[in-house]
Structure 1
Amino acid sequence: MTLSVISAGFGRTGTMSLKLALEQLGFGPCHHMIEVIENGEAQVPLWNAALAGTPDFGAIYDGYNSAVDWPTAAFWQETAEAYPDAKIILSTRSAESWYSSISETILATVWAPDTWPPQATEWFKMVTKVLERSFG
């Protein structure tokens, strides 16, 4: 299976709704951060390798027909190069609304490493690197 659709939109821009819509329209399964959470043992090392400059998109997206949300959004250009026939979607949200939403959810947790459960430490470190890649 190869990716048919890639989303460049950041998390908190309707990516879960987009994932569900793509799956209903026949572009599933769709890779989303939820897959990284649920399959962390396999996914986190693959994304760490991508962050280190050696992505294996074939392994990351094995079995998926589309990809949305982070970490894909941080690598959308490289992913598009790897899957040149894929269509690119950009989901957006007003800056104020997006920042409020991400601050109250993702950033509130990522910026508080003392609250990370020990079994999720590697996932949180990877997410922190993905956000740094996205925003500098």
Structure 2
Amino acid sequence: MVETGGRDGGELDGFHVGRVPDGAGELVSDFASEWEDVNFASRVWERAVEDGYRVDLRVHVLRGERLTGLTELRDFLAEYHERDPDGWPLTEFGHGEGVGFVGEGEAFWLVRPGVAVDVLVDVERFGGELLPIAESISTVR
């Protein structure tokens, strides 16, 4: 269930981000990139701080043939984030569009083979908002 409050995050590469927490930065940027044959469509919410900018929220839509299952997605993201997949504490969770994993500051799920969503938050500011944000993301029909 999505909590009330926050603002709409708009559409990103075929997905609607239904919730951005109150207090998340107003500077919003979209990026397209590719890494290891997976295409990323990314939206980042930042805010100005004393020494520059701080990222509050990132949403990535990933598309690539190597994303065949949840294990392959986890392994890909572990490699991308330079994490040990065996030492990455994750808990399985059910998203309305698929099964995924959630850990400290990150939730990701496989929508269908070849398509996944990855959400990352600033844990200090929005750690409790992670699942409501993830649950608010849906395929645009």
Higher helix fraction (1 or 2): 1
Q: Same fold (TM over 0.5)?
A: no
| TM-score relative to the length of structure 1 | 0.24
